[in-house]
């Protein structure tokens, strides 16, 4: 019997058997049989003409048809149907035809069905990948919205805290004046305690404002000629007292390039450097050492801050540069800036990174790991481009002004307290 005749002979049982086996329920079965009839027509055309493209349109429709539930549950429905279709066709040919006719039919039909299976798998995969990308996009949008909310919250909270803090500062200073003349020494020391708290709070609020400037890409730099060794000298003086309190030593190794005039925002770079030094002191036990050095590289200056402290585990080394990336326990938070392991709000390194990146530089840390007994230490590296010309004086001037405006806006105007009590 010719293949075409065999095709005609098995058509009705083929449609019946496949729809009975694969379609659940009467209602679904009618529609499914219709699809199978259409498929069978195109299958015949493909076999007769030897061109499998006849099946492309129906396979495309099937491959792209998964419902949302199929997609969410990762069901590969159509590929499953085609796989079953191949094995049912084998059974049917064996049941309905003589062995020779069955062999001829299967030789013609199986390559077309396996080709169809390949096409459907590809379409189903593409549909699934598109679905996953869409879901991922939605999640990313949500995360972005959350992050924006968080950064807005930080900026509003910082602004709102600044005004009452200014009031407290003003009244404390007036009280200090009164106490000075009242001859109550105990009162004076209480007020000094309040003052320390105020200064710490101001630092935290300033950090919150800086983080929100960085998050919103609003950190602009006041680029001017500067020298790295000036920053090192400043740091050496500023940290003398803390280093002595902790019985540590601070070694500053001037290096080739530290006396080079470069262009940068010296105030912001000093802020970055002192964050690293304060951390080095904080995370190094008493009697340890903090060493600052660096080197000149082609187009860059590298500054290193090395300590003999508790170190940082490799998995935490990227985390610490994220905002709120502190690793210590909440209960270790300290009002002292350089108390051993006295963690802060976890904003320092994220600000430091923001400042360095705004200069076109990078920052990273090297440490063999965290160990409070062996004290492997950490070395923070800053790589700064050695710009020997201002980027663009007009832009710098413009951004300089813009920065002032933004800072004034974010920090709020200082409200000097009056003699009237606050409302
Ligand atoms: P924090 O306010 O907690 O000090 P930072 O952003 O400055 O926040 O630092 C984030 C975390 O990185 C710290 O909580 C600490 O766990 C870790 N860290 C920073 N510097 C060092 C260092 N020199 N040695 C060990 N750990 C460090």
* Atom of ligand 1 minimally distant from the CA of 327: 16
Q: Per-residue pLDDT for 405 more than 80?
A: no
Cα–Cα distance for residue pair 65/70, rounded to 1 Å = 9
User: Would you say the CB of residue 325 lies under 6 angstroms from ligand 1?
Assistant: yes
Residue with tokens 């709000």: 345
Cα–Cα distance for residue pair 5/208, rounded to 1 Å = 81
Asked if residues 233 and 270 have their Cβ atoms less than 8 Å apart, the reply is no
pLDDT at 68: 65
Cβ neighbours for 402, distance < 8 A, ≥ 6 positions apart: 220
Cα of 341 vs centre of ligand 1, distance in Å, is 8
Select from 326, 332, 364, 379 the residue to mutate for testing ligand 1; criterion: most ligand atoms less than 8 Å from CB.
326
Angle 185-215/99-182 helices, nearest 10 degrees? 150
Cα of 159 vs centre of ligand 1, distance in Å, is 25
User: Would you say the CB of residue 361 lies under 6 angstroms from ligand 1?
Assistant: no
Exposed, middle or buried by CB within 10 Å (0-12, 13-18, 19+), for 234? middle
Task: Tell me, rounded to whole angstroms, the distance of Cα 188 from its chain centroid.
Answer: 47
Cα of 213 vs centre of ligand 1, distance in Å, is 21
* Residue of 307, 279, 312, 309 whose CA lies nearest to 292: 307
Kindly report which listed range (39-53, 280-294, 343-357, 389-403) carries the lowest average pLDDT score. 389-403
pLDDT at 402: 46
User: Would you say the CB of residue 250 lies under 6 angstroms from ligand 1?
Assistant: no
Cα of 278 vs centre of ligand 1, distance in Å, is 9
Q: Per-residue pLDDT for 290 more than 70?
A: yes
Select from 205, 242, 274, 279 the residue to mutate for testing ligand 1; criterion: most ligand atoms less than 8 Å from CB.
279
Kindly report which listed range (9-13, 31-35, 100-104, 274-278) carries the lowest average pLDDT score. 31-35
User: Would you say the CB of residue 44 lies under 6 angstroms from ligand 1?
Assistant: no
Cα–Cα distance for residue pair 384/108, rounded to 1 Å = 70
Compute the average pLDDT of residues 390-413: 48
Beginning with the edge strand found earlier in the chain, give each strand of the sheet holding 378-385 in spatial order. Answer: 249-252, 289-297, 300-307, 378-385, 362-367
Asked if residues 55 and 114 have their Cβ atoms less than 8 Å apart, the reply is no
Confidence category of residue 150, pLDDT binned at 50, 70, 90: confident
User: Would you say the CB of residue 239 lies under 6 angstroms from ligand 1?
Assistant: no
In SS3 terms, 294-350 reads as EEEECCEEEEEEEECCCCCCHHHCCHHHCCCCCCCCHHHCCCCCCCCCCCCCCCHHH
Kindly report which listed range (202-216, 224-238, 282-296) carries the lowest average pLDDT score. 202-216
Q: Phi then psi for 347, rounded to 5 degrees?
A: -110, -20
Give residue-wise pLDDT tens across range 321-364.
Answer: 998 766 655 555 555 567 787 767 789 999 999 999 999 999 99
User: Would you say the CB of residue 279 lies under 6 angstroms from ligand 1?
Assistant: yes
Confidence category of residue 420, pLDDT binned at 50, 70, 90: very low
Compute the average pLDDT of residues 190-200: 89
* Residue of 233, 209, 341, 228 whose CA lies nearest to 288: 341
Asked if residues 392 and 267 have their Cβ atoms less than 8 Å apart, the reply is no
User: Would you say the CB of residue 305 lies under 6 angstroms from ligand 1?
Assistant: no
User: Would you say the CB of residue 116 lies under 6 angstroms from ligand 1?
Assistant: no
Q: Per-residue pLDDT for 173 more than 60?
A: yes
Q: Phi then psi for 148, rounded to 5 degrees?
A: -65, -40
Exposed, middle or buried by CB within 10 Å (0-12, 13-18, 19+), for 319? middle
User: Would you say the CB of residue 348 lies under 6 angstroms from ligand 1?
Assistant: yes
Cα of 72 vs centre of ligand 1, distance in Å, is 41
Name the DSSP class of 420: S
Cα–Cα distance for residue pair 39/45, rounded to 1 Å = 10
The bridge status of strand 249-252 relative to strand 224-227 is unpaired
Asked if residues 172 and 194 have their Cβ atoms less than 8 Å apart, the reply is yes
The residue ranking higher by pLDDT, 231 or 402, is 231
The residue ranking higher by pLDDT, 1 or 211, is 211
Q: Tell me the Cα Rg of the chain.
A: 36
* Atom of ligand 1 minimally distant from the CA of 325: 10
Q: pTM, whole model, 2 decimals?
A: 0.64
Cα of 368 vs centre of ligand 1, distance in Å, is 15
Select from 329, 335, 349, 380 the residue to mutate for testing ligand 1; criterion: most ligand atoms less than 8 Å from CB.
349
Confidence category of residue 394, pLDDT binned at 50, 70, 90: very low
In the chain, the N- to C-terminal Cα span, in Å, equals 103
Compute the average pLDDT of residues 34-52: 92
Asked if residues 287 and 302 have their Cβ atoms less than 8 Å apart, the reply is no
Task: Give the tokens for residue 209.
Answer: 């404002």
Query: For the stretch 148-171, what's the b/e string if a residue is b when 16 or more beta carbons lie within 10 angstroms of its beta carbon?
Result: eeebeebbeebbebbeebbebbbe
């Amino acid at each position: 019997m010719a293949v075409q005749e065999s095709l005609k002979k098995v058509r009705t049982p083929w449609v019946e058997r496949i729809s009975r086996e694969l379609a659940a329920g009467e209602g679904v079965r009618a529609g499914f049989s219709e699809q199978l009839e259409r498929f069978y027509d195109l299958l015949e055309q493909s076999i007769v003409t030897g061109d499998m493209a006849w099946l492309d349109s129906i396979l495309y429709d099937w491959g792209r048809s998964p419902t949302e539930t199929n997609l969410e549950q990762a069901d590969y429905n159509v590929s499953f149907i085609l796989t079953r279709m191949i094995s049912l066709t084998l059974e049917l040919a064996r049941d309905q035809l003589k062995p020779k006719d069955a062999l001829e039919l299967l030789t013609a039909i199986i390559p077309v069905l396996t080709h169809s299976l390949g096409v459907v798998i590809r379409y189903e995969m593409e549909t699934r990948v598109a679905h996953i990308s869409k879901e991922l996009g939605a999640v990313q949008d949500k995360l972005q919205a959350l992050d924006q909310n968080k950064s807005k919250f930080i900026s509003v909270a910082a602004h709102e805290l600044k005004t009452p803090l200014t009031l407290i500062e003003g009244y404390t200073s007036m009280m200090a004046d009164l106490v000075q003349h009242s001859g109550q020494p105990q009162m004076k020391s209480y007020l000094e305690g309040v003052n320390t708290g105020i200064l710490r709070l101001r630092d935290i609020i300033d950090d919150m404002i800086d983080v929100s400037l960085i998050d919103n890409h609003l950190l602009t730099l006041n680029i001017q000629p500067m020298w790295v060794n000036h920053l090192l000298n400043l740091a050496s003086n500023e940290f003398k007292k803390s280093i002595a309190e902790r019985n540590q030593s601070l070694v500053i190794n001037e290096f080739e390039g530290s006396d080079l005039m470069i262009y940068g925002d010296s105030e912001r770079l000093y802020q970055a450097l002192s964050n690293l030094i304060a951390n080095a002191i904080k995370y190094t036990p008493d009697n340890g050492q903090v060493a600052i050095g660096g080197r000149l590289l082609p187009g860059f200056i590298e500054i290193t801050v090395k300590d003999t402290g508790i170190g940082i585990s490799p998995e935490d080394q990227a985390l610490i540069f994220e905002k709120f990336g502190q690793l210590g326990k909440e209960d270790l938070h300290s009002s002292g800036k350089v108390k051993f392991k006295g963690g802060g709000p976890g904003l320092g390194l994220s600000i430091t990174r923001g400042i360095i990146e705004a200069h076109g530089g990078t920052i990273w840390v090297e440490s063999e790991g965290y160990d409070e007994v062996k004290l492997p230490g950490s070395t923070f590296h800053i790589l700064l481009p050695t710009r020997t010309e201002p980027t663009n004086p007009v832009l710098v001037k413009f951004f300089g002004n813009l920065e002032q405006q933004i800072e004034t806006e974010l920090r709020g105007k200082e409200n000097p307290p009056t003699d009237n009590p606050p409302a």
